[in-house]
Amino acid sequence: MSITRFEENRLHQVESKWKIIGNRGLFAGIMAFIVVWSLFPVYWMANNSLKGRLEQFSSIPTFYPHAPTLENYHRLFQEMGFLGTIGNSAMVAFVSSVLAVAFGSLAAYALSRYQFKGKQVLLAWILLTRIFPPVAFVIPLYSIMGNVGLLNTRIALILAYIVFNLPFAIWMLIGFFSEIPIEIEHSAQVDGASPFQVFRQIVLPLVAPGLAATAIFSFVMSWNEFMYAMIFIQSPDLVTVPVALSGLVTEYLVLWGPMSAGGILSTIPILVFVIFLQDYLIKGLTLGAVKG
């Protein structure tokens, strides 16, 4: 690492001062663009969550709440029991994404390392389930869940989410696994490690960024899924965040305030999850050392 920095410093010294200033300006400009582009709608949501209805629709939009109110948040917690709802979503999303990544990494490893009968069929089938529009699944899946008595349980949602996250997780992880040079595994096998040991102790740590990215995607998908959550769950105590938020689109009005507040609040748990997994994304593979 120290050599890298040294090299870089020398390169920098060669560049002219003006170029550096120009680059800095450009850099700051791009940075500002990315931040504004990503955050403005979120800011607008937060802004609305602190306004009353009249101000939300004033003819000249107000860029910060002139008459700030916590009424919208209050309403979510007091009247809608939003905390319990967030708990339901967290539970379903966490369990299903952990399992999807676990099952997915196993399957992806096998698919990327071994040749076996029916492999092409399996790969195609996995992709096909992702391509089908979810609407096509609703009726048959509902009747399966009904027949095994899983309607109105979290298990039904967790199962459905694992199945819909798996194709994605598998395809994504196949990509990451195939970047790992197979020689590393061979040498471990020569040392007497079982295939499972090789997978667990050598391969998995190498694809940590891929696992983290996959887990984030699965979590986000499960957290925000609406259709199955709406149809499989009946009792109000089990409802997830998107379903609870959909109840704010009432027959006559969209309750914009609580809706915005709910959007902001429901993002916090995912944000925590993402920050938690960021270390993996940043650490990166240690492959370079091996290859070099």
Partner 1 sequence: MKRIWQKKHWWALVLVGAMLLAACGQPAAPAPAPAPASPPAQESENNDADQPGVASIAIAARAGAMADALKAVAAQYTQETGIDVQVNDMPYDNLKETIVLDVRNNSGAYDLVMMDDPWMPEFGQANLLANLDDYFTEGVDPDFVPTTINLSREPYGTGSLYALPLIGNVQMFFYREDLIEKYDLTPPENWDDVLAIAEVITREEPDTFGYALRGQRGNPIVSNYMPLFWAYGGRVLDENGVPQVNSEAGVKAMETYMKLKDLGPVGVEAFDSDQIATALTQGQAAMLVAWPSWVAMVDNEEDSLVAGKVAFAAVPGQVNESAAMIGNWLLGVPRTSSKIEAAVDFMKWVTSAEVQKEMAMIGGGVPTRRSVYQDPELIEKYRHYPAQLEALERSVARPRTPYWSQIEDVWGMYLSQILAGQVEIQEGLDRANEEIKNMLP
Partner 2 sequence: MTWIFLTPTVVLFLLLTVYPLFYAAYTSFFRVDYILDQSTFVGIQNYQRIIRDMNFWNAVKNTLIFVVSAVLFELVLGTAFAIFFNKEMKYRKLFRTIVLIPMLLPPITVALTWKMMYAYDQGVLNYLLEVIGLGRIEWLSSTTWALTAIIITDIWQWTPFVFLMVLASLQAIPESLYQSARVSGATSWQCFRYITLPLLKPTLTLALLLRTIDTFRVFDKMYVLTGGGPGNATETITFYIYRYGFRYFHTGYAAAGSIIMVIMVCGVSFLYIRRAFRTANAK
Contacts of 120 (CB under 8 A, 6+ apart): none
Identify whether the C-beta of residue 152 lies closer than 8 Å to the C-beta of residue 234: yes
x/- contact string, 23-52, with partner 2 (CB under 8 A)?
-------xx--xx-xxx-xx-xx--x----
- Would you say 257 and 53 are in contact if contact means Cβ atoms under 8 Å apart? yes
Element (H, E) at 185: helix 182-190
Please give the distance of CA 269 from its chain centroid, rounded to a whole number.
11
109 binds, among partner 1, partner 2, none (CB under 5 to 8 A by kind): partner 2
Binding residues (CB under 8 A) for partner 1: these are 52-54, 57-59, 79, 87, 90-91, 94-95, 98, 138-139, 142-143, 146, 151-155, 204-205, 208, 230-231, 234-239, 243, 246-254, 279-280, 283, 286
Q: How far apart are CA 243 and CA 233, in angstroms?
A: 10
Using CB under 8 A as the binding rule, whether residue 266 contacts partner 2 is answered as: yes
From the centroid of its chain, how far is CA 82? Answer: 21
Report what 152 binds from partner 1, partner 2, none; CB cut-off 5-8 Å by kind.
partner 1
Using the rule CB under 8 A, is 257 a contact of partner 2?
no
Three-state DSSP state, 157: helix
And the tokens for 248? 């704010």
Q: Using CB under 8 A, which residues numbered 206 to 245 contact partner 2?
A: 209-210, 212-213, 216-217, 220, 223-224, 226, 241-242, 245
> Cβ of residue 252: shortest distance to partner 1, in angstroms?
5
Residue 45 Cα distances to 40, 58, 95, angstroms: 9, 15, 29
Smallest distance, Å, CB 141 to partner 1? 10
x/- track of binding to partner 2 for residues 78-97 (CB under 8 A):
--------------------
- For 291, half-sphere exposure in the C-beta direction (CA atoms, 13 angstrom radius) is 9
Of residues 65 and 247, the one with the C-beta less far from partner 1: 247
* Packing angle of the helix pair 256-283, 17-49 (nearest 10 deg): 140
270 scored as a contact of partner 2 (CB under 8 A): yes
Residues 124-183 that bind partner 2 (CB under 8 A): 125-141, 144, 159-160, 162-163, 166, 168, 170-172, 174-176, 178-179, 182
